[in-house]
């Protein structure tokens, strides 16, 4: 709530009765209503814009000559954990790219630590310079088919509901539970019926989509085709166009970005690592890519800011106008979206901005509780006939179910490099049951060695893909020693690693260090013959349930013709 004295100052500075705290001069304002470029001063009082379309005196000024002012970009759905850095490092990474608001779901850390993970994110959000909003994780655990580190019911979430950084309920991934009126799902939906509820509805169409939306769910970031998106838009669902490090839907959905449809669209990254951010960008990358492939410039910038804000009830931002939050991005070219300077809440984004932040102690530093493994733990029993094999699809988190005749020896199935079939093993790491399950995967192109990850959506058990058991054991055991992360091994020895000790998901180091670590990991994975552009995130998504091979019945999800693990 804003006090009367602050309101009075804003009014006085907006009317020109007293000098503004800061005046941005020389920029052209990109009008998100008309699409025109207008030469005007932009006057700020603290964290709020108080003047446009006029000349202002200021206590301080910033020369933006030759630049174009657009509203700060809003990432409407992401998991900060997938950036592999803590929230305070995440903002250092993305604020220079113009992302001034991010709406996150701490789903990953919540599946490891439960409510402790949500508390950690809220504490970080209060210390940050960008505005990090938190959606409360709706699906912990994400599935009964895997072992997670925690469980959150409606009663565990409602105490956080009124926190000033909380918007509502995060992506409701358990769409079968919604459609079949699971009591736990209904309890969460009822508790948040007066708040924003995010959706997660891949391939949900027709009457099932009607039922899903009838629960009060408003958005979807899992839409992968324009046809699917048009049905969802026609039924009132906002589409969050996603372009992450693995899931890349932007090109398929660019045809949607028009002036008519833009109020019902927004951009999101979902999962994007700092190496991709450094090489390509963040939402700035999505903006320039959409425009380069024919999207209307005005509609694209609306999607990145104004529409994103309104779809989440953030009516104080997304537009450069009096009374709005002073989130302003200065670019030198609209089509190229080259970000030159950024103001977040009226403060210029530079190194000094981050110096006075309150430190936040990391959470979950001892969350990997697996025992040390031996090579024989990775053996796979041979089957008669064909063996089920997971088929990785580059750029997608949805996998295929393949079947192959695999060689065997002494009753054990063996990799077949000619068919690109290598081993994959999941190890329970939360100290619950010590389970180990193994199978085979196609699509990595690996010819020797192994790669391992403690990032394993959504339950975040250890997952290792490899050719020989000794390398698989070496890579996995190194993760147990470091408290989580990524590791590459060859010939039974670790050749590259990146420690992620914060809940086994995030580094406690600067994002620059993580970026360089990922470069080394990519090179080491490539040396094993791996052909995937993002092998570690691909490993992370191998542990998702194989939803296309599950049947929905009146008793819930029933596994049909399952793999050795799903």
Q: What is the mean pLDDT of residues 184-208?
A: 96
Q: If you average pLDDT over residues 436-443, what whole number do you get? A: 95
- What b-and-e string marks burial along 41-64, b requiring 16 or more CB atoms within 10 Å of the CB? bbbbbbbbbbbbeeebebeebbeb
Classify residue 27 by its DSSP letter.
P
**What is the pLDDT at residue 562?**
35
- What pairs with residue 502 in β-bridges? 506
Q: What is the pLDDT of residues 270-286, one digit of tens each?
A: 999 888 999 999 999 99
Lowest mean pLDDT among 141-150, 225-234, 237-246, 438-447: 141-150
Rounded distance, CA 414 to CA 423, Å? 8
Tell me the three-class secondary structure of 269-288, residue by residue: CECCCHHHHHHCCCHHHHHH
- pLDDT tens for residues 66-91? 999 999 999 999 999 999 999 999 99
How confident is the model at residue 553, as a pLDDT?
37
How many other C-beta atoms are found inside a 10 Å radius of the C-beta of residue 23?
22
pLDDT at 561: 38
Distance of CA 443 to the CA centre of its chain: 24
Q: What are phi and psi of 231, to 5 degrees?
A: -65, -45
Q: Give the separation between CA 318 and CA 310, rounded to whole angstroms.
A: 8
Please check the confidence at residue 208 and state whether its pLDDT lies above 80. Answer: yes
Distance CA 162, CA 191 (A): 12
3-state secondary structure of 342: strand
Each residue of 342-371: pLDDT tens digit?
999 999 999 999 998 999 999 999 999 999
Query: Helices 283-292 and 297-304 sit at what angle, rounded to 10 degrees?
Result: 160
50-68 tens-digit pLDDT: 999 999 999 999 999 999 9
Within 8 A by CB and 6+ apart from 434, the residues are 370, 371, 428
pLDDT on residue 259: 97
Cis peptide bond upstream of 102, omega within 30: no
Residue 145 has pLDDT above 90, yes or no: no
Contacts for 181 with CB less than 8 Å, ≥ 6 apart: none
553-566 residue pLDDT tens: 333 333 333 333 32
**Res 545: pLDDT:** 58
302: Cβ contacts below 8 Å, ≥ 6 apart = 32, 259, 262, 263
Q: Determine the pLDDT at residue 192.
A: 97
Q: Is the pLDDT of residue 393 over 90?
A: no
Q: What is the largest CA-CA distance in the chain?
A: 88
Comparing CA positions, the residue from 217, 112, 84 lying closest to residue 432 is 112
The arithmetic mean of pLDDT across residues 279-306, rounded, is: 98
Q: Is the pLDDT of residue 522 over 70?
A: yes
Asked if residue 168 has pLDDT above 70, the reply is yes
What is the C-alpha separation between 489 and 465, in angstroms, rounded?
A: 10
Name the band, by pLDDT with cuts 50, 70 and 90, for residue 507: very high
Q: Which of 164, 194, 149, 548 is CA-nearest to residue 370? A: 149
Residues 6+ away with beta carbon under 8 Å from 81: 106, 108, 109, 455, 503, 505, 506
pLDDT for 463-506, tens place per residue? 999 999 999 999 999 999 999 999 999 999 999 999 999 999 99
Three-state SS at 257: coil
Quickly list DSSP for 504-522.
Answer: TTBBSS-HHHHHHHHHHHH
Token output for 33: 């209503």
What are the DSSP calls for 346-377, one per residue? TEE-SGGGGTTPPP---S-TT---PPP--GGG
The count of other CB atoms within 10 Å of the CB of residue 464 is: 29
Question: Residue 551 above 70 pLDDT?
Answer: no
Distance CA 389, CA 422 (A): 9
Helix (H) or strand (E) holding 28: strand 28-30
Residue 96 has a CB neighbour count (10 Å cut-off) of 18
Provide mean pLDDT across the span 101-117. Answer: 97
Residue for token pair 């060695």: 449
Asked if omega into 141 is within 30° of 0 (cis), the reply is: yes
The predicted structure's pLDDT at residue 207? 96
The pLDDT value recorded for residue 523 is: 96
Q: Give dist(CA 462, CA 247) in Å, integer.
A: 21
The answer to whether 342 and 330 have CB atoms below 8 angstroms apart is: yes
* Backbone φ, ψ for residue 421 (5° rounding): -115, 115
Q: What mean pLDDT, rounded, does the chain reach?
A: 93
Mean pLDDT computed over 407-424 = 97
Mean pLDDT score, 243-253? 92
Supply the pLDDT for residue 399: 84
Q: What is the dihedral of CA 559, 560, 565, 566, to 10 degrees?
A: -60
HEC string of 119-133 equals: HHHHHHHHHCCCEEE
């Amino acid at each position: 709530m804003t006090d009367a004295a602050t309101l009075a100052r804003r009014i006085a500075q907006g009317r020109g009765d007293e000098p503004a705290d800061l005046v941005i001069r020389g920029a052209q304002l990109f009008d998100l209503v008309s699409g025109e470029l207008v030469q005007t001063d932009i006057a700020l009082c603290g964290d709020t814009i108080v003047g446009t379309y006029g000349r202002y005196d200021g206590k301080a000024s910033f020369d933006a000559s030759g630049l174009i002012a657009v509203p700060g970009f809003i990432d409407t759905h992401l998991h900060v954990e997938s950036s592999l850095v803590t929230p305070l490092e995440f903002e250092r990474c993305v604020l220079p790219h113009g992302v001034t608001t991010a709406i996150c779901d701490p789903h990953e850390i919540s599946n490891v630590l439960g409510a402790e993970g949500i508390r950690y994110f809220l504490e970080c959000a209060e210390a940050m310079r960008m505005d990090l909003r938190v959606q409360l994780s709706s699906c912990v655990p994400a599935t009964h088919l895997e072992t997670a580190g925690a469980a959150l019911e409606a009663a565990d979430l409602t105490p956080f509901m009124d926190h000033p950084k909380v918007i509502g309920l995060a992506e409701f991934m358990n769409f079968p539970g919604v459609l079949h009126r699971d009591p736990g799902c209904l309890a969460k939906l009822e508790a948040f019926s007066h708040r924003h509820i995010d959706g997660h509805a891949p391939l949900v169409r027709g009457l099932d989509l009607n039922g899903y939306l009838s629960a009060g769910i408003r958005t979807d970031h899992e839409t992968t085709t324009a046809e699917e998106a048009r049905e969802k838009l026609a039924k009132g669902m906002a589409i969050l166009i996603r372009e992450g490090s693995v899931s890349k839907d932007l090109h398929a959905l660019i045809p949607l970005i028009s002036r008519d449809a833009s109020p019902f669209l927004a951009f999101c990254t979902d999962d994007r690592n700092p190496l991709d951010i450094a090489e390509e960008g963040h939402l700035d990358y999505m903006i320039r890519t959409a425009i380069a492939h024919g999207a209307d410039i005005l509609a694209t910038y609306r999607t990145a800011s104004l529409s994103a804000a309104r779809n989440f009830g953030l009516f104080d931002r997304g537009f450069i106008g009096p009374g709005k939050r002073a989130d302003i991005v200065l670019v030198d070219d609209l089509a190229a979206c080259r970000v030159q300077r950024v103001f977040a809440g009226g403060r210029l984004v530079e190194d000094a901005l981050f110096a006075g932040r309150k430190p936040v102690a990391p959470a979950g530093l001892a969350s990997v509780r697996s025992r040390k493994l031996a090579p024989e733990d990775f053996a796979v029993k041979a089957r008669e006939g064909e063996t089920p094999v997971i088929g990785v699809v580059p750029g997608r988190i949805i996998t295929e179910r393949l079947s192959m005749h695999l060689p065997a020896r002494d009753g054990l199935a063996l990799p077949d490099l000619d068919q690109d079939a290598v081993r994959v093993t999941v190890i329970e790491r939360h100290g619950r049951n010590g389970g180990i399950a193994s199978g085979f995967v196609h699509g990595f192109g690996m010819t020797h060695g192994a790669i391992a990850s403690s990032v394993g959506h959504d339950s975040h058990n250890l997952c290792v893909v490899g050719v020989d058991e000794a390398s698989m054991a070496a890579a996995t055991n190194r993760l147990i020693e470091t408290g989580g992360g990524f590791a590459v091994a060859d010939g039974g020895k670790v050749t590259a690693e990146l420690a992620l000790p914060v809940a086994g998901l995030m580094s406690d180091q600067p994002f620059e260090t993580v970026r360089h670590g990922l470069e080394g990991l990519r090179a080491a994975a490539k040396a094993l013959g791996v052909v995937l552009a993002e092998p570690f995130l691909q490993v992370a998504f191998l542990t998702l349930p194989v939803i296309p091979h599950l049947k929905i019945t009146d008793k819930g999800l029933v596994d049909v013709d399952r793999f050795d693990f799903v």
